[in-house]
Amino acid sequence: MWRREFLASMAGPFLAGKGTILVHEHVMVDFAGAGEIRPGRYDPEEVFRVAVPKLEEVKNLGCVRLLECTPQFIGRDAGLMKRLADHTGIDIWTNTGIYGAGNHKYVPGFARVESASQLAERFIAEFERGVDGVKPRFIKTGVNKGPLGALDRKLVRAAAIASRETGLTVASHTGDGAAALQELEIVDSEGVDLSKFVWVHAQNERDHAVHEKAARSGAWVEFDGIGEKSAGWHLDCVRLMARKGLLDKTLISQDSGWYHVGEPGGGGYRGYTYIYTDFLPRLEKAWIPQLMRESPVRAFGG
């Protein structure tokens, strides 16, 4: 009953108003590796059929925008995302960048030999020309746990250079707090305001002092992966940030979805509704506009 009452109470300001934003979700992923990615590994029609009801389900709860965080060489399909956006009415954003986490399995050969500046030029070109006719709206990168190796540092530097030239925000899958603090140093060294950097997967760092340090530097601290098993820890993280007066540097999302290329029917595609039906009702109601609309817009733009 309490969930239904909560959702009904949200209908006025959100469903009939500006709506809510999910800053870190996926529609499709392909974990084959950069050397195996090629056209024809999946049927776009099947992905469309599987994804539409999941997207429509969360739209009915007030979601108006979803940042699709699947990077190039892990299954990014900007054209398919545009088709899904046009069909469902949800604004689905795609990205540019190279992802180095996963021990560099998804780093293509050219990214291993080119300089940070050369890689940045690739990201800038995608921003200017579009990806399959779709302009990327943020830069997605990723690094392993700290201390960062040379390749991870180069990818972050490339993302920072591209951010400086395009104004796009960098969202970085980050292995731990040590890696996050190194990333902030790199971004800052390139003259990029740290408000253009999002520490993705900050929930994996158990030391709240590191969360606080990153947020006070100006960066965004994103607690994603919210689900039934993790909700208690995620609640602790958000409440800590609120107590420290840092809710306005906090982002939340689920890292959910995922049509898995290579698995029958796309495998176990998790929907996007848990944050609405089970997580938000456990927070202070006054925090929700900040977390679900105001901060996403400030972090990534309108």
Give the pairing of strands 95-96 and 91-93.
unpaired
User: CA dist 224 to 23, 33, 93, 159, Å?
Assistant: 9, 23, 17, 21
Q: What is the mean pLDDT of each run of 10 residues along the chain (302 residues)?
A: 54 58 98 93 98 98 98 98 98 98 98 98 98 97 98 99 98 98 98 98 98 98 98 98 98 98 96 98 97 98 92
Residue pair 273/42 in contact (Cβ under 8 Å)? The answer is no
Q: Reduced to 3 states, what is the DSSP secondary structure of residue 22?
A: strand
pLDDT at res. 6: 57
What type of residue sits at position 50? V
pLDDT at res. 11: 46
- What is the 8-class DSSP label of residue 68? E
Neighbour tally for 297: CB within 10 Å: 12
Give the pairing of strands 250-252 and 220-223.
parallel
Whether omega for the bond prior to residue 71 falls within 30 degrees of 0, making it cis, is no
pTM: 0.95
Backbone Cα Rg of the chain:
18
Hey, where are the domains in the chain? 2-28+39-300
Query: Which CATH code is given to the segment(s) 2-28+39-300?
Result: 3.20.20.140
User: CA dist 282 to 225, 239, 287, 291, 296, Å?
Assistant: 16, 11, 11, 13, 20
pLDDT at res. 194: 98
Burial class (CB within 10 angstroms; exposed 0-12, middle 13-18, buried 19+) of 296? buried
Residue pair 209/178 in contact (Cβ under 8 Å)? The answer is no
Question: In angstroms, how far is the first alpha carbon of the chain from the final one?
Answer: 34
pLDDT at res. 18: 78
